[in-house]
Amino acid sequence: MPGMVMFGRRWAIGSDDFVFPAAFELFIRVSWWIGILVLYSIHKGQLDCPGGKLLHSYLLVLLILLVAIICALSSILHISMQGTISNPGPRKSLPKLLYLRLALFLPELLWAIVGAIWVSDRSIKCDRTVMNAIFGTVIASWIIIIFTIVAVVVVFDPLGGKKTLYLTGCPNHNLESSQSDQVFYNVKKTATRVWEKRIRLLCCCIVQNDDHRVAFTSIAELFRSYFSDTDLVPSDVAAGLTLLHQEQDKVENCPKDPEEVLIQSPLSPTADDLDLEIENAAHYMKFAVATYGWPYYIMTNPFTALCKLKGDCCRNSPVEADIVGGDRLNMNFGSILKITGLQYRDFIHISFHNKIFEIPFFVALDHKKEAIVVAVRGTLSFEDILTDLSADCESLTLEDILENGLVHKGITQAANYIYRRLINDGILNQAFTIAPEYKLVVVGHSLGGGTASILAVMLKNSFPTLKCYAFSPPGGLLSKSLADYTKQFIVSVIVGKDVVPRLSMPNMEDLKRRIIRIVANCNRPKYQILLHGCWYEVFGGDPNNFPTELDGRNQDALTQPLLAEESLMVHRSPSYNALIEDESPLNSPLRYPRLFLPGRIIHIVEENSTRRWCSSDVKYHANWSKETAFGNILISPKMVTDHMPDVVAKALNSLAQESVSCISCQPQGDFSTNTV
């Protein structure tokens, strides 16, 4: 629901978010009250000691105060459980109860101070058990007060005053009026400053220069524009995501029509082509993961990695000119050697230098495939995250091929940096002097996959035989014309429901629309949604057991915006207007240009495995897929783990081994399927 308004400002918490905190505190308070009552009943005859009357009064007042707090908490719990996310009417009395509960903190604070003074008074000579119990109540009081203060800080919305002014001053959201425009301009300006401060705080540990400041402002504008037109609190988003996951599972469990299956048919139906690309991808994936250095090697070999690297750390590293950036104890380079299986002499250049828009990479000779491999590292630092989030678009022109193709700004700047290093510093010339007959292959995972793709576009004219393998690249990368051009020489590999290849601003806008729509249509209280969602994610179940839409509303009605949806929007953004007119995020004009994945896409999906925490042997199958298949963000417990480099490498190795065994046992000439 919209954020709750108290003390004349909006807070980042809804009136239905007090169920779990109130229930937890109620349990603590009731247990505390019972304990104090038992203590008082047992020891009230032993309080005739010096200072005993004071302690007697303290315990009686504490019991009465706890009764008042328990009653207030019970009322808050009961009221917060009423209504639904989009129907806060039954909870309209909650702010008054919260004012009462906050008022009770004053006598509790006072009594905690008094109790601390009495307990520390050495003139009081009473039973040690009573003294320890009172000391425990004082400590418990202070702990609860401190946690309450922390909770208030967490749910404090720096823009609460501005948003409240905007909502009350412009109830009809009439953005045509000059007064409304001015108010909303001030809200936007303040929101950008707030986001910029948050980003600076998160990146306080890194040295900041002009590039960082420009990136901070750009990212702050991005976050502000995305979050400014909704009035959702974090728990609303969590409830929406769990409902979307269940709704998505319902759709997946339904049998597909033949036409739907045909839409997902591969671009290149020949199985031998797919098998060859999977074998190549599995081979080059080890170069992509090697760029992560010792963190990846230790993660995949937790018990033996340090022992294996110990000997390499003491060896002499290659010539100093071959390595740029720090590599303490030779850990990164030692890990690269272990993962790739190459020798020292096979590396032409290694860069561990890492700044915003400047990411590590290495150039090596792959004698097995007769290739010069440029491997680019993915996200592994705050600087890399800033590069990822610099998601504005900029133009990329290719002479005699393409004009004004749109690309991801941050990733393009990273590709430009590596391009200058490879060409201007003569790194590729050095490599081709050693191995002139070798081909050029560019690889990378995640951010490295996106950078490798744009770098390949830049190098393609100079190296016509160039090939690029992008593993789990970001989704909002290339405009349609540029993405079509890259199908000649780039292969993207995506596993399962990986969220990163589906991340783009239009897809994020679509996700926001779907969250608003599903929480506005849900007829259950939020606490039930979250409890059922946690159970469903951990233990599974039937998603059909939990209705997610208002009873009696037909599908036609659900295509129209609800009043409840309107209440969750601070203002109707152009992208939201476009999205409610067309359910498909692929066909609506948005304020963000639509960018796509690079090259041809191999989509790898698990076969016959559970999506829960424990699973046995996993089998995979792969097929060529269209970029339109990644036009929605899918909610899944594996949406993050499917992006991990070790998961991608495991899937590719499994498919490559399966392909080899199938070819060896298959009748010659029988390549009738593209599924491995």
Place of tokens 């509303």: 553
Element (H, E) at 9: strand 9-10
CB atoms within 10 A of CB 507: 23
Q: Which of 498, 575, 642, 659 is catalytic?
A: 498
- Using DSSP's 3-state secondary structure scheme, residue 361 falls into strand
Q: Which amino acid is at 406?
A: L
- Going by C-alpha positions, the residue among 268, 183, 115, 216 that lies closest to residue 623 is 268
Cα distance between residue 130 and residue 592, in whole Å: 67
Q: Which of 225, 335, 446, 504 is catalytic?
A: 446
| Backbone CA torsion sign across 452, 454, 457, 459 | negative
Structure tokens at 16: 């239905």
- Going by C-alpha positions, the residue among 363, 455, 380 that lies closest to residue 412 is 455
Do residues 392 and 222 touch, judged by C-beta distance below 8 A?
Answer: yes
What count of Cα atoms within 13 Å lies in the side-chain half-sphere of residue 121?
A: 16
Cα distance between residue 431 and residue 442, in whole Å: 14
Q: Is 498 a catalytic residue?
A: yes
Q: Which residues contact 252 (CB under 8 A, 6 or more apart)?
A: none
Number of residues in the chain: 676
Give the start-end residues of each E strand in 368-429: 371-376, 393-398, 402-408
- Using DSSP's 3-state secondary structure scheme, residue 602 falls into strand
- Going by C-alpha positions, the residue among 391, 601, 363, 389 that lies closest to residue 459 is 363
DSSP structural state of residue 634 = P
Q: How far is CA 506 from CA 256, 502, 512, 539, in A?
A: 26, 10, 10, 33
- Give the CA angle between residues 83, 85, 86 to the nearest 5°: 90
Structure tokens at 106: 């004053």
Q: Is 384 a catalytic residue?
A: no
Q: Would you name the residues annotated as active-site residues?
A: 446, 498
